Structure 1
Amino acid sequence: MINFKEKISIDEFDGKRFQVRIVEAENDNKAVLTHYLHNIHNGVSKYYKDYALIALSEYISYKQEEENIQIFEEEALQQLLFEVENVPFPTPKNYKFKFIDLFAGIGGFRIAMQNLGGKCVFTSEWDKEAKKTYRANFGEVPFGDITKNRIKKFIPDDFDVLCAGFPCQAFSIAGKRGGFDDTRGTLFFDVAEIIKKYKPKAIFLENVKGLRNHDKGKTLETILNVLRNDLNYYVPEPKIINAKDFGVPQNRERIYIVGFRKDLKINEFQYPEPTNNKVTFKKVKEEKVPPTKYYLSTQYVQTLINHKARHENKGNGFGYAIIPDDGIANAIVVGGMGRERNLVIDHRIVDYTPTTHIKGTVNRDGIRKMTPREWARLQGFPDNFIIPVADASAYKQFGNSVAVPAIEATALKILETVKLI
């Protein structure tokens, strides 16, 4: 990991005025340098070059100061270029289209789009742990808070598709028409603002299924009104897509919203049909017995049993669930009963010695949590996807991610419709 300073001075030429500003927060210098190196062989690099060269000089200065070595700009550039290109998921050499990746998480959209021949020219994600995972796999540090104008100014002018899995927020539309201005203060407003300025050929938005009924349907109604009327995009009715229909054993429903710039004369779109590739948990189960730390203690198992019984007595269906090898997992989510709704039975354990501080002993029924790698597979991430963070962060990241195969199947339809592939 490159250890840049938190702040760098940047000379910015704006017409005839020469300004100096400080780029702060969220290691934007790392982002601009890796974005520059990722695009060093194409015209997109021009959007990052001036800032990247300053960041490079800061890096050289830091290395000399901290390690007492002589390092030259060309050597540093080659070293860093190797670091950004020698990753599990490099950019396709002969890419067919360009896209940007907003609210990128750990790169589920990016894997899908790169699989189809896409080149990512800008990415943003505010979570620091997610950034670590993103960089480990793509060699690129995402820019930070996309609500900040200093971040938005790095977006290149020329890209074909905007991808965003933006959070769901309520809008202030009481007594209003539910238009562009009514979304101010929400993250969708920033997405809409970017669409308005850059006018990509196509947009691909993903959100939780609950968006359909959020705020009694007003939220989705406003989003569609902004896209269709304020931004002038053809937007077919959104569709709920289930990941289990696209080759992963997870019952995960998400709403997909796609749109096409109206001057492209596109007036129909067909979402992908479910595949016949039905799989079960057995396909994603760990090949070897997982470490003992994933097995529940006897006391915790009993707590779950008691908790479920209390809810059943109240007529509720809430509680833990054990997924059989020939079954399909519940949606993996962050918090609540996210992991407990996806327990499994694994009798391969032979050493019951606790490896973490637990109350009671390791249960003898083989009940364990799924591992982060199993969650990765449930979302369609390939096994060469690096997980460089602790388990707690990994569960959060995969729980928040998109299901790659479902995204890829839909993206294929979008790209075919726009004739980008």
Structure 2
Amino acid sequence: MTVRENHKNKISSFEQEPQNEKTILRLGELFCGPGGLALGAKRANVVKDGSEFEIEHAWASDYSNDSCRTYARNICPEPPETVICKDVCELNIQSLQPIDIFAYGFPCNDFSIVGEKKGFNGTFGPLYLYGIAVLNHFRPKIFVAENVGGLTSANDGGAFKKILTDLKDAGNGYLLTAHLYKFEDYGVPQTRHRLIIVGIDKTLGLRFRVPAPFTSNKPLTAREAIEEPPISKSTPNSERTHQSKTVVERLQYIKPGENAWNSKLPDNLRLNVKSAKMSQIYRRLHPDKPAYTITGSGGGGTHGYHWKEPRALTNRERARLQTFPDDFVFEGSKESV
């Protein structure tokens, strides 16, 4: 089975009464980023008992200009004005179009195990409430909320319980299914673990079922994702980062799968860091395993590094590891992307 075949969407459908014509479900998003969730939604197509269901973009919002430009280019070039580039705190929810499905990956900064773990006491922790406002106003049939696994332990577990309660009680009330997914078990060539909460309007009498893993025994590897098929030099977002002589020399001592801390570096190439030692610093991919979690920072040795060549991954290689297709073009500078 090829990488492309493995990357096909695995869609879990739920029981519906047979209909005679196609049903279009309208999608709204907060914290939409460049459009990964929307791309998956656009590609989802369910045919059940003669009825067909498709998802179409209605509106999306994010505060990052490059993310909004990327979303508009790839998801909704016509009409691009349905992507609202604005701080969620300033967004007029009542002015948005009605939706059937709502998706939001609310900011994880204050819930992540990497960082100060402020939970609700941080700047980003309470932002999930804007999603609750959307659910109360539009009462969509379905919602999908995504966050880091650290959410379950933030504020001694209190944050997770509070969020679940607020989601359950929003709108007409929702039947929730919360699950920590290991993405490498679902055809993603990356050990990205995320908590996904699916809610279905309780008046529909339906509940989402967690799909069975299908690549647990043979996950996609970094080599398969990046090399099959090869990435053409003309593919967008393939610019390489200029590596300093010191970085090149350091990487030559780091074996595939190792990082700056567990490799045997000469003294002159060791990092002078006394605080927390992140495992991803100058960590090279292992070609025969899924990539480790790709992060959005990129600075301080966290770009993600090729297993053979002494260099950082290109944005296109990182996009491959996130399962974005090669024709999905990211807007902005190389550093912004």
For this pair of structures, how many residues does the alignment match?
Answer: 269
What secondary structure does 1:121 align onto? strand
Mean CA deviation greater in 187-196 or 136-145: 136-145
Deviation at 1:288, TM superposition (A): 5.5
Letter aligned with residue 97 of structure 1: L
| Aligned pair partner of 1:390 in 319, 327, 333 | 333
- Corresponding position: 1:296 with 2:235: no
Q: 2: CA distance between counterparts of 1:313 and 1:109?
A: 37
Q: Deviations over 1:102-128 (max 9, x none)?
A: 211011111111111211111111111
Is the 1:332–1:338 Cα contact (8 Å) retained in structure 2? no
What secondary structure does 1:344 align onto? coil
Matches within 5 A, 1:16-415: 96-116=24-44, 117-138=54-75, 139=77, 140-141=80-81, 142-143=83-84, 144-149=86-91, 151-157=92-98, 159-168=99-108, 169=110, 170-171=119-120, 186-229=126-169, 231=171, 232-236=173-177, 238-266=178-206, 268-276=207-215, 278-285=219-226, 287=230, 293-294=240-241, 296-302=243-249, 308=261, 318=279, 319-335=281-297, 340=302, 342-346=304-308, 366-394=309-337
Q: 1: CA distance between counterparts of 2:242 and 2:273?
A: 28
2:5 maps to: none
Letter aligned with residue 120 of structure 1: H
Higher-Rg member (1/2): 1
Letter aligned with residue 156 of structure 1: Q
Deviation at 1:324, TM superposition (A): 3.0
Q: 2: CA distance between counterparts of 1:257 and 1:165?
A: 10
Letter aligned with residue 110 of structure 1: A
Q: 1: CA distance between counterparts of 2:56 and 2:25?
A: 6
What secondary structure does 1:250 align onto? coil
Is the 1:372–1:391 Cα contact (8 Å) retained in structure 2? yes
Q: 1: CA distance between counterparts of 2:104 and 2:300?
A: 23
What secondary structure does 2:120 align onto? coil
Is the 1:330–1:341 Cα contact (8 Å) retained in structure 2? no
Q: Deviations over 1:105-163 (max 9, x none)?
A: 011111111111211111111111111211221312411233225x3132223x21111
- Identity in percent: 27
Q: Root-mean-square deviation (CA), in Å?
A: 3.3
Higher helix fraction (1 or 2): 1
Gaps (5+ residues) in structure 2?
Answer: 1-21, 45-53, 111-118, 255-259
Letter aligned with residue 371 of structure 1: T
Q: 2: CA distance between counterparts of 1:292 and 1:234?
A: 45
Q: Report the TM-score, using the length of structure 2 for normalisation.
A: 0.70
Deviation at 1:223, TM superposition (A): 0.4
Deviation at 1:339, TM superposition (A): 5.7
Deviation at 1:165, TM superposition (A): 0.7
The 1:124–1:224 alpha-carbon spacing in structure 2 relative to 1, beyond 3 Å, is: same
Is the 1:332–1:339 Cα contact (8 Å) retained in structure 2? no
Q: 1: CA distance between counterparts of 2:190 and 2:155?
A: 27
Q: 1: CA distance between counterparts of 2:203 and 2:307?
A: 55
Q: Deviations over 1:139-197 (max 9, x none)?
A: 12411233225x3132223x21111111135336xxxxxxxxxx999211111011011
The 1:171–1:97 alpha-carbon spacing in structure 2 relative to 1, beyond 3 Å, is: same
Is the 1:235–1:258 Cα contact (8 Å) retained in structure 2? yes
Is the 1:320–1:337 Cα contact (8 Å) retained in structure 2? no
Deviation at 1:301, TM superposition (A): 4.0
Letter aligned with residue 135 of structure 1: A
What secondary structure does 1:251 align onto? coil
Is the 2:94–2:137 Cα contact (8 Å) retained in structure 1? no
Q: Deviations over 1:238-275 (max 9, x none)?
A: 21112212222111001101111121123x43211112
Q: 1: CA distance between counterparts of 2:273 and 2:138?
A: 55
Q: 2: CA distance between counterparts of 1:111 and 1:370?
A: 23
